[in-house]
Chain A
Amino acid sequence: KQEVTQIPAALSVPEGENLVLNCSFTDSAIYNLQWFRQDPGKGLTSLLLIQSSQREQTSGRLNASLDKSSGRSTLYIAASQPGDSATYLCAVSPVTQGGSEKLVFGKGTKLTVNP
């Protein structure tokens, strides 16, 4: 059974710092890996989707990498801002669950960026 782990569970940094969030998964047979952001009391917002054949994706100050063979992904946030404070969730689409439409989520990393 695919398991997704995110470390650390919580992270607090000063504004302006570059930071890395980690995600690991137990089965490398995936269609894709996705990063989401969740603000308190809100739903999830998609940030980046990396297909299994890709190594990384970038959007603005965000860069996500994927090393499928080692079962790891990182989300790099450059020049962090207080508005980046949220919980970041990693999810994979396991091949064993059929098509690419199903996701298995990690428990998230709660990020606080202090002004």
Chain B
Amino acid sequence: NAGVTQTPKFQVLKTGQSMTLQCAQDMNHNSMYWYRQDPGMGLRLIYYSASEGTTDKGEVPNGYNVSRLNKREFSLRLESAAPSQTSVYFCASSEASWFLQETQYFGPGTRLLVL
């Protein structure tokens, strides 16, 4: 049982390049999330998916797109990377729903540097 896995662990991009961050969970959770963590800003929600086939914007969605490929996988895509997207990206999953209160389980993070 690996929990939540993320790839890659670290990535360096040049401004304007694109990339996809991958996330997978093996806990059969319905909900999945992408956050970014910046010094002095805390964790901020980028996008989340309440179930397979659905996605919704979080607090800071601009410059990102997501795909909920199936129940296990939730990817985050940067179409044209900017230095402001330099951050640590965390994926999380949860059984939480509109009416069910459960905690979130986090992956180890992807450290992204945009030059």
Interface residues of A (CB under 8 A from B): 4, 31-32, 34, 36, 41-46, 49, 51, 89, 91, 93, 98-103, 105-108
Contacts and interface: CB of A to CB of B under 8 A. Distances in A.
14 contacts: A36-B106, A43-B106, A43-B107, A44-B104, A45-B106, A51-B101, A91-B43, A100-B98, A101-B50, A101-B94, A101-B96, A102-B48, A105-B44, A107-B41
A105 to B, nearest CB: 4
Contacts of B50: 99, 101
Interface residues of B, number: 28
Given A42-B109, A46-B104, A103 B97 contact: no
B40 interface: yes
B105 A99 contact: no
Given A101-B31, A103-B45, A105-B43, 14 more contacts: A43-B90, A43-B106, A43-B107, A44-B43, A44-B106, A51-B101, A100-B97, A100-B98, A101-B50, A102-B48, A103-B104, A105-B42, A105-B44, A107-B41
